Structure 1
Amino acid sequence: MGSQSGATPFTREQWAVLCVIGSVHFGCAICVSLQAPFYPAEAERKGVSASEYGLVFGIFELVSFLSCPILGKYLDFIGPKFMLNSGIFIASTCSILFGLLDLVTGHIDFITLSFTIRIVEALGTSAATTAAFAITASVFPDSVATTFAALETFYGLGYIVGPMIGGMLFSLGGYILPFVSMGTFLMLDAIFIYFILPPLGNEPGQLRPEVKLLAMFKIPDVGLDSFCIAATAVSMGFYSATLEPHLRKFCLTPVVTGVMFVISGTLYAVSAPLVGRLCDLEVQPKKVMVAGSVCIVTSYFLVGPLPGLPLPTTMWMCVLGLIVHGIGTASILVPCFIDIIRSSVASGFPDDMTTYGMVAGLWASFFSLGAFVGPSVGGVLYDTIGFRSGTLFPVGMHLLVFVSVTCFVCLYNGPGPAVPVPVANPGDAECCIQRGRNLPQDIPPLLPSKCSDSITTGYGSFGTPVPFLTAIS
């Protein structure tokens, strides 16, 4: 995945993959977000408290945090195409079942089934998105950041329009129609992908030399990037839990309040492809992340404003702050993905689907962790110390991101110290620990591409040449 000075045209197969994977992200995002306008009211009619149905929303992110690394580790063994289709099928089935909860009458039965379906849906969605990210990294070797950002745009658009579509369908057909409609859409998408997407990676059940997730996490770049991902998700989650009560002083209509929530997501969807293109054009990802952390701190400075500042809360400052926040989140989440891949391969991980799956799982896991912590802690802080003082939590995290990444950029040179990568077969150790180079040459390409002719065009070609690592005896 060498650096490219100019745009390289995609092959027909690559365009097909981008379209089908984009549809997966769009559909999954809608299914995750469409219940927000009407599920709480339905739950309250069943006698469910706000704390209980709040946990129904939060459990999704917690399950994703726990499951994504495991799914990513075994993605090459399961098979990326099989995991993608299976995840979509599970998520679509759970969406339909969630719509049938309207038929459940008892409080205990309703909340128990809500938790059960939501947990299984989280497993399916995690499998689908983890496989999708890994497929993207392998099929688009010379433009990973750009295509990853494009998928994030699909997901962002789906997450934005999900509540709107859910509300419209709810008004047309009641509680069941939104879930059945989107579940059916995802199920048809899975059938379409089965016939359109070409075989990728190993055959299911065929295992390459195993590498350890812990070894990847010990790479300094990877640990730092993971913290940045979680901190950014915390920032997004804090707004989702506290922005609406913060804006009540302006006496906004529900429509205008909804538009305020859309601002940040829209700017994220628009700016993510631009950020991805910058990273593919040899701009160092960590420098983009520094700019992103500044944007997020600036956002809270405007929306709060920060405690201690003699500034009133004004509408125009809130709008400007949310615009800056959307740009900042894109400037961190997109570079982190490509930086983890580059750092992992530069530190000895094989430049193949096994590594891509682990990276995808790691990224999704820490994003889910932040998405769980952000609204949970944000709600508590809002109730105890208010919005302005509560913003010190996400601001403090991103000041730490700014300082850490800046120091890393200024003081740290090269792709990283020698990090031994454990492998299942000691006989394969020598070729699997050479910073991504000199890997077995009989691994077939995942898709024929105009962009790449050999393994030396992979991420291992980034950075400076380094000596061989020492094999684990």
Structure 2
Amino acid sequence: MGINKHKFTRRELVTLLVLGSVHFASSICISLQAPFYPKEAELKGASATEYGLVFGSFELASFISSPIFGKYMNCIGAKFLLNTGIFVAAICSILFGLLDLVTSHVEFISLSFLLRIIEAVGSSAAITAAFSITATVFPDSVATTFATLEVFYGLGYIVGPTIGGLLFTAGGFILPFMVMGSVLMLDSVFIYFALPTLNDGSNRLRARGQLMQILRVPAVLLDSFSIMATAISMGFYSATLEPHLRDFNLSPVLIGIIFVISGGTYAVTAPLVGRLCDTRVYPKKLIMVGSMFIITSYLMVGPIPFFDLDRKLSLCIIGLIIHGLGLGCILVPCFIDAIRSSVAAGFGDDITTYGMISGLWASSFALGDFIGPSVAGVLYDVVGFRIGTLFVIGVHIIVFISVLTFVCVEKRPVPAPQPQSSLPPLEIDGDTKGCVLLNASWTQDPVPSYEIRSSPKREINGYGSVGSTLPVVKVSA
């Protein structure tokens, strides 16, 4: 997958728009309730641990389902999986808004878990399919295209909490989910009619991917761990940032705006990082930079208890901007690096591999986004936000050391020498000026035989460019 600078065709533009809508909608599913759900859950008698697990259950379900969708992408069909996943997420979003009518603490939390899990399965199906379609339709610019689509994800991350806070202020708990569910439903219809039919040439009779074999590739395993660690940092903020900011007495709208800072920065930086990856910058070096950004972010937002710093809103804002930079430097490079490493390890450069890597990326992200809010809720109840940030800092110190060690000990592959042909030289009608294109296939016959087929003359010179007129003869053995 080299660099290919070309203008998008109409089909590619339509595909890009459709996939962008999927990323946009899926990120809203995750972030919509962040500014107001914790407080509403507490009114129903829920603790930070409980609503933290509700946030995390979405990602746990995605972690389990994403590899399954990725492995059987060929059997199900990418477009069908994409459309169905968005539709399921739409229904669950509408039903989630009705939880405000439930007064019992146990019933409220139980139904929250159930609807979030089903919504997660639909969302993970859509995202996994979108990743696979990205690698299939844009094989020569996967990193740049993936990063462009992540702009839509970042915008959704921005719009989700902001619109969620505005709609909650205007119409209470029900309105944000009703509006979101309706938007997802319209997006499902748009996908059905707008997305072109995909001809991936794959065998739909069976799934041929070997997910565990891909995980045996060290670079892919390290990329997966880096994605998980980054999602942990996002999930930790999503579950506990709102309680951490309560002392500033901000309105739900202002809290929603603060939530968009990290995602907005990510949306701006992701295309730049993708371009760097497509222009031969080694992705793992960017991952190391990203881990340092995230460590710095948590040192400031906490702030870490070992620093003699008071909690300030300005520090939180600067820290969230730095966090967005870290997201861009890890999530985008990990996707393209996992694909390149898999292909280099001998896996096919086709939608089967893309599907497995897509599922693995989504699954790793989901696992981290489950661990993040789940652990965050427990730590917030036990030790508070400031000391709890040490968990995320420690995880990303491990990421930095692991990637640095890998880069130092990695042996880059050396191109193998081209084998010499032992076929005797050919003489065609005594003409030595012709261009002979040889396509040899070896057999057990000790005496090679040749089949000579003429093809029409065309304007070429000795280097294959337009120039002189020479006879072209195709020879196959």
* Conserved 8 A contact 2:262-2:324: yes
Cα distance in 2 between the residues matched to 1:154 and 1:113: 30
How far off is 1:379 after superposition? 3.0
1:143-292 correspondence runs (5 A)? 143-201=141-199, 206-207=204-205, 210-248=208-246, 250=248, 254-292=252-290
2:3 alignment partner in structure 1: 3
2:383 alignment partner in structure 1: 385
How far off is 1:120 after superposition? 1.3
Percent pairwise identity: 64
Name whichever of 370-379 and 324-333 sits farther off.
370-379
Cα distance in 2 between the residues matched to 1:415 and 1:346: 9
1:443 alignment partner in structure 2: none
- The one-letter code sitting in structure 1 at the alignment partner of 2:67 is P
How far off is 1:375 after superposition? 2.1
Counterpart pick for 1:117 among 115, 118, 127:
115
2:373 alignment partner in structure 1: 375
Cα distance in 2 between the residues matched to 1:137 and 1:179: 32
How far off is 1:322 after superposition? 1.8
Mark the runs of 5 or more structure 2 residues left unpaired by the alignment.
415-477
2:127 alignment partner in structure 1: 129
- The one-letter code sitting in structure 1 at the alignment partner of 2:233 is S
How far off is 1:386 after superposition? 3.8
Cα distance in 2 between the residues matched to 1:405 and 1:308: 27
Deviations 1:197-216 (CA, angstroms, capped at 9, x unpaired): 12224589813661311000
- The one-letter code sitting in structure 2 at the alignment partner of 1:243 is L
1:430 alignment partner in structure 2: none
Scaled by the length of structure 1, the TM-score of the pair is 0.80
- The one-letter code sitting in structure 2 at the alignment partner of 1:321 is G
Cα distance in 1 between the residues matched to 2:44 and 2:287: 45
Deviations 1:277-322 (CA, angstroms, capped at 9, x unpaired): 1111111111111111121222223333434334444444333222
Asked whether 1:354 is paired with 2:352, we answer yes
* Conserved 8 A contact 2:25-2:184: yes
| CA distance 1:49–1:393, change in 2 (3 Å) | closer
* Conserved 8 A contact 1:76-1:201: no
- The one-letter code sitting in structure 1 at the alignment partner of 2:275 is R
SS in 2 for 1:182: helix
| CA distance 1:43–1:253, change in 2 (3 Å) | closer
* Conserved 8 A contact 1:347-1:415: no
| CA distance 1:183–1:315, change in 2 (3 Å) | closer
Count of aligned residue pairs for this structure pair: 415
* Conserved 8 A contact 2:55-2:373: no
Cα distance in 2 between the residues matched to 1:306 and 1:54: 21
- The one-letter code sitting in structure 1 at the alignment partner of 2:224 is S
* Conserved 8 A contact 2:166-2:253: no
Deviations 1:86-133 (CA, angstroms, capped at 9, x unpaired): 111111122222233445565555444333222211111110011011
Cα distance in 2 between the residues matched to 1:179 and 1:95: 5
1:427 alignment partner in structure 2: none
Larger Rg, first or second structure (1 or 2): 2
2:33 alignment partner in structure 1: 35
1:329-340 correspondence runs (5 A)? 329-340=327-338
Name whichever of 319-328 and 308-317 sits farther off.
308-317
Counterpart pick for 1:411 among 396, 401, 409:
409
1:69 alignment partner in structure 2: 67
Scaled by the length of structure 2, the TM-score of the pair is 0.80
How far off is 1:222 after superposition? 0.6
SS in 1 for 2:358: helix
Cα distance in 2 between the residues matched to 1:343 and 1:125: 27
Cα distance in 1 between the residues matched to 2:254 and 2:171: 25
1:22 alignment partner in structure 2: 20
Cα distance in 2 between the residues matched to 1:37 and 1:366: 25
How far off is 1:257 after superposition? 4.0
Deviations 1:206-238 (CA, angstroms, capped at 9, x unpaired): 136613110000100011111111111112222
Cα distance in 1 between the residues matched to 2:384 and 2:105: 32
| CA distance 1:182–1:381, change in 2 (3 Å) | closer
1:401 alignment partner in structure 2: 399
SS in 1 for 2:370: helix
| CA distance 1:75–1:395, change in 2 (3 Å) | same
